[in-house]
Amino acid sequence: MTESESAPPGIDVTRPSVARVYDFMVGGKDHFAVDRTAAEHAMAIMPDAPEAGRACRAFLRRAVRYLAAEAGVRQFLDIGSGLPTQTNVHQVAYEVDPAAHVVYVDNDPMVLVHGRALLADESNTKVIEADVRAPREILEHPVVRECLNFDEPVALLLLSILHHVHDSEDPGAIAATLRDALPSGSHLAIIHFWDPAGEHPRISAKVREVEQVFNETMGTGRWRRREEIQAYFGDFEMIEPGLVPLAEWRPGDEAPAEQTDTYYTMIGGVARKP
Ligand SMILES: C[S@@+](CC[C@H](N)C(=O)[O-])C[C@H]1O[C@@H](n2cnc3c(N)ncnc32)[C@H](O)[C@@H]1O
């Protein structure tokens, strides 16, 4: 995409956006020169960064399929949903039950523009503009209340979003507010940037470098320790195999991923509210 060609009104192409940089990493089309430059800075330190993006999307597919097909969940609240790409949450859920309901939430205007176009003909899937740092506004949003029934289990997806919330903005309290609103039998899925300090010191040192570049160019990106990320699940019961490198979460018959550096920089899991 070139800037003059197709930047929708209101889209700032002078500064990189997390959603568009990620779109570049996962092979999408909705990014600009400023986003590619930011991605290349990160890739100068971790050349296999796009592999992490692919691992995220593969985790998303397996987790949503598990939630719909095995846990029987029919409602999804996907916060920090990102730009539509191949196999989005609603498409995976619809493969199990075309009557599933999905609400996508993101604060990037480009996500809204593309999401609305993709979903124009969908009645069970909606996209809203909101900020995860205002969780009560999301929970009380009329579209969320209309599309999701909070008397029935909901799958809350916080996939690659809490690491964009600064420590001073209290991601733990945000996660707790969202968890508390869910009925028993609901699930929470999380993907998070991981600092494997203690387990993989060489990779931990690289993570610190990438974190610095990220925060200088793109805004907040926090690589947290395993125990910090585990705390976002509160008292929910972890589904086997727990909080693990993304490729290790119920890989089924997928070919084992190569253990390059980014393999140990992202971690994910799914848990159930008792
Ligand atoms: C890395 S993408 C993840 C996309 C998708 N969840 C996935 O796992 O493939 C992170 C998304 O979170 C969104 N985001 C970042 N900060 C946010 C905030 N404070 N509130 C809502 N969305 C936010 C970005 O716009 C971006 O679309």
Tens-place pLDDT, residues 186-206: 999 999 999 999 899 999 999
All residues at 6 or more sequence positions from 221 whose CB lies less than 8 Å from its CB, including other chains:
18, 163, 164, 193, 211, 214, 215
Rounded to the nearest angstrom, the distance between the alpha carbon of 251 and the centre of ligand 1 is 24
**Full-model pTM:** 0.96
Phi, psi of 106 (to 5 degrees): -155, 155
In short, whether 22's Cβ falls inside 6 Å of ligand 1 is yes
Question: Which atom belonging to ligand 1 lies closest to the Cα atom of 17?
Answer: 25
Given a cut of 60, whether residue 3 has pLDDT beyond it is no
In short, whether 39's Cβ falls inside 6 Å of ligand 1 is no
Task: Identify the band that residue 123 occupies on the pLDDT scale cut at 50, 70 and 90.
Answer: confident
DSSP-derived letter for residue 123 is: S
CB-based contact 7:13 (threshold 8 Å): yes
In short, whether 132's Cβ falls inside 6 Å of ligand 1 is yes
Q: Residue 80 has what pLDDT?
A: 97
In short, whether 111's Cβ falls inside 6 Å of ligand 1 is yes
Rounded to the nearest angstrom, the distance between the alpha carbon of 161 and the centre of ligand 1 is 5
In short, whether 57's Cβ falls inside 6 Å of ligand 1 is yes
DSSP-derived letter for residue 70 is: I
